[in-house]
Structure formats: C-alpha cells, structure tokens
C-alpha cells in the first residue's frame, strides 16, 4: 500500500526471493536489493553495467566496464576481475571464455579457483565444465582437437586415452538434452 522505491526494472526468475532481487536504478545501473518488513536494503550497490545469474545458480555475475566478477552471496565476497565472460562457477572454481554465448562463438575456456588463481588458461579449450565428484572436484574438458578428457583439481588428465571426436553442443545453461555427451556419477564412479 506504499511505494518502497522506484526502479527502471526488477528482475525475477524462478526460485528467486525478495531476499536478493536484481534491480536497475533510474540511471541504468544494476544492483541487488532485498525487501523485508516493507523496507528495501541494498545487497550489491548500484554501480554495475549488468548483474545476472547463470543457470541454476544462487550467486551473481557482475559486469563493470568490460570486466567480469562473481559475487558469492553467502560469504559476501567478489572475485575478479576477469577479462572474459563468466561461463560457469561453483563454490570453488570459476570458468571463463572468450566470445559470446548469444552468438554461439564461445572459445578459449579458462579455469580459475575462487581466489582468481589461474589453473588452466592457455590450452585452447573449446569447453570446460565443473563436475561435483566423489570427495573432489573434477572437470570435463574438450580441447581444441575435440578430445574429451576428465581433469582433476590440479588440471591433470584422468583418462589415459581421451574420448576422441566429440563434436556438437557443449554448454549446459538451459538444455542438457542437447549436449554432445552425458555422464553419471554413482559413488566414486563417473
């Protein structure tokens, strides 16, 4: 029954709550707000060119002057900057890539830990996916020759012989059924 604030936009996606809503102020700057007991509180200040969430994520991707960051909600920490767009992230790792998701020109995937330390950057990976595995983190990586390998947390190949000639769709942001590969984890077996 009362106006709490004025914004150019409020973005809500399935699963969001009034505890963390992406908003755009009247000057076009993105921020994140919470609404509780009839009051608005700023969670992330209104200074970003873009703020969004990646598929099935609770944390936020921030863009400021062409630089990319990940904001972790539970720890209230911002990791970055990264020169390339954020492809995916977890509680321990961040994957970036060159190109554009919208134009389907993604290439040169890179892997970082959440301190921003570079783990895999210069190998021309066509795709890297973070996998929650048995007591450790693993990554599915497709190299520049369309070979698929599973990497451990140190970036070392686990498979002695990679799976060759994996071609097709790699990213998983919306439609896992269209992927060029699939996997299943059962205990300590992938």
One pLDDT digit (tens) per residue for the chain, 190 residues? 788 899 999 887 655 666 789 999 999 999 999 988 889 999 999 999 999 887 667 889 999 999 999 998 888 899 999 999 888 888 888 889 887 777 777 788 899 888 888 888 777 888 888 886 555 578 888 888 989 998 887 778 888 899 898 877 666 555 555 666 777 777 767 7
Q: What is the pLDDT of residue 170?
A: 66
Query: H or E element: which one contains 62?
Result: strand 60-64
Q: Is 183 helix (H, G, I), strand (E, B) or coil?
A: coil
Q: What is the pLDDT of residue 136?
A: 58
Q: What is the pLDDT of residue 6?
A: 93
From CA 51, how far away is CA 38, in angstroms rounded? 24
Q: What is the pLDDT of residue 57?
A: 75
From CA 169, how far away is CA 49, in angstroms rounded? 29
**Biggest alpha carbon–alpha carbon distance for the chain:** 65
Residues 6+ apart with CB under 8 A from 27: 46
Q: What is the pLDDT of residue 51?
A: 94
From CA 58, how far away is CA 20, in angstroms rounded? 9
Report pTM: 0.80
């Amino acid at each position: 029954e009362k106006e709490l604030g004025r914004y150019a936009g409020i973005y809500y996606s399935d699963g969001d709550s009034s505890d963390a809503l992406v908003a755009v102020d009247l000057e076009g700057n993105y921020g994140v707000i919470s609404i509780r007991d009839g009051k608005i509180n700023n969670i992330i200040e209104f200074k970003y060119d873009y703020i969004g969430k990646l598929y099935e994520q609770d944390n936020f991707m921030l863009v400021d002057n062409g630089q990319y960051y990940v904001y972790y909600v539970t720890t209230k920490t911002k990791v970055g900057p990264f020169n390339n767009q954020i492809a995916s992230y977890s509680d321990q790792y961040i994957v970036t890539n060159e190109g554009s998701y919208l134009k389907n020109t993604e290439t040169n995937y890179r892997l970082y830990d959440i301190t921003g330390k570079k783990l895999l950057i210069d190998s021309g990976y066509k795709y890297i996916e973070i996998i929650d595995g048995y007591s450790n983190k693993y990554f599915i990586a497709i190299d520049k020759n369309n070979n698929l390998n599973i990497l451990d947390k140190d970036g070392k190949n686990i498979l002695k012989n990679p799976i060759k000639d994996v071609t097709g769709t790699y990213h998983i942001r919306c439609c896992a059924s269209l992927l060029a590969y699939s996997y299943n984890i059962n205990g300590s077996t992938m």
